[in-house]
């Protein structure tokens, strides 16, 4: 048994996929899922590259990570490739998750039906506001945040979606880590200081919006200047 494990280790180095590659995989999955719905059976990396406006060499390298091998002239078996990519992102398993902070963004996320395609199953919401506790928001029950630690332990929950106000984020995150949470999807626009082995992924909604509004200001300024100088 130990031997097999070791061989597997050599074939697929742990944590070996660079993050920029990882971040492109959902785009491939999204495209392939749509192609599958049109009954396409095979797909080439060139075709994928063209559809997504990406460099064909990069796409070939990215898809190779899935371990699927394309057939000459036909390309990849679409079903196999899709399954392998979903497996790489761990989206072929459904993970139970808690959502903490049932405000406007939190409620919204509770109602987002597509998370299950991405391996995420939100089983409960938590809030400190007694008026929210006991309610069912978008089909999911809201529990008091005082029960959070206990419930994480009892239900062996690994993933938390954090949508509390920034000033509460650090404290709640620490509590959850102590109770056994392994990964936090952080929507609070604040930095979490946690032990290195805890996985923290920042949703970066405000960062994304900041880039957009800044670029828009620059663009408008530039255009005004052109009109001005003519």
Using CB under 8 A as the binding rule, the residues of this chain from 43 to 72 that contact its own copies are 51-54
Contact between 199 and its own copies per CB under 8 A:
yes
DSSP state of 70: P
As measured in angstroms, the least distance from the Cβ of 117 to its own copies is 9
Q: Which of 40, 57, 69, 217 binds its own copies (CB under 8 A)?
A: 217
Q: Which of 7, 11, 23, 130 binds its own copies (CB under 8 A)?
A: 23
Cα separation, 37 vs 7, whole angstroms: 37
Cα separation, 195 vs 184, whole angstroms: 12
Cα separation, 118 vs 93, whole angstroms: 9
Cα separation, 140 vs 154, whole angstroms: 18
Closest by alpha carbon to 127, among 166, 179, 162?
A: 162
Taking contact as CB under 8 A, which single stretch among the options 56-64, 70-78, 121-129, 222-230 is the one that binds its own copies? 222-230
Taking contact as CB under 8 A, which single stretch among the options 72-80, 126-134, 147-155, 201-209 is the one that binds its own copies? 201-209
Q: Is the dihedral of CA 98, 102, 103, 105 positive or negative?
A: positive
| 145-164 residues near its own copies, rule: CB under 8 A | 158-159
Closest by alpha carbon to 97, among 151, 50, 46?
A: 151
Contact between 36 and its own copies per CB under 8 A:
no
Contact between 229 and its own copies per CB under 8 A:
yes
Q: Which of 27, 36, 60, 141 binds its own copies (CB under 8 A)?
A: 27
Q: Which of 56, 67, 144, 189 binds its own copies (CB under 8 A)?
A: 189
Taking contact as CB under 8 A, which single stretch among the options 27-35, 72-80, 128-136, 141-149 is the one that binds its own copies? 27-35
| 75-134 residues near its own copies, rule: CB under 8 A | 88-91, 93, 95, 104-105, 107-109, 111-115, 118-120
Closest by alpha carbon to 110, among 131, 86, 81, 135?
A: 135
Helix (H, G, I), strand (E, B) or coil at 184: strand
| Structural tokens at position 4 | 């097999």
Contact between 136 and its own copies per CB under 8 A:
no
């Amino acid at each position: 048994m130990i031997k097999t494990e070791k061989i597997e280790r050599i074939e697929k180095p742990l944590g070996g996929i660079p993050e920029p590659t990882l971040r492109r995989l959902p785009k491939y999955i999204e495209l392939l899922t749509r192609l599958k719905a049109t009954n396409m059976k095979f797909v080439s990396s060139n075709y994928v590259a063209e559809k997504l406006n990406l460099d064909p060499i990069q796409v070939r390298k990215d898809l190779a990570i899935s371990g699927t091998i394309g057939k000459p002239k036909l390309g990849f078996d679409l079903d196999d490739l899709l399954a392998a990519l979903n497996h790489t992102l761990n989206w072929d398993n459904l993970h139970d998750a808690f959502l903490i902070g049932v405000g406007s963004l939190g409620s919204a996320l509770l109602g987002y039906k597509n998370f299950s395609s991405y391996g995420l199953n939100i089983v409960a919401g938590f809030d400190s506001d007694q008026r929210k506790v006991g309610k069912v928001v978008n089909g999911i029950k809201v529990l008091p945040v005082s029960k959070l630690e206990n419930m994480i332990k009892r239900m062996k929950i690994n993933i938390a979606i954090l949508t509390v106000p920034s000033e509460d984020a650090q404290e709640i995150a620490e509590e959850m880590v102590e109770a056994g949470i392994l990964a936090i999807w952080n929507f609070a626009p604040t930095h979490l200081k946690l032990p290195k082995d805890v996985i923290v992924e920042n949703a970066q909604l405000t960062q994304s919006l900041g880039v957009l509004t800044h670029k828009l200001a620059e663009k408008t300024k530039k255009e005004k200047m052109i009109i001005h100088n003519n």
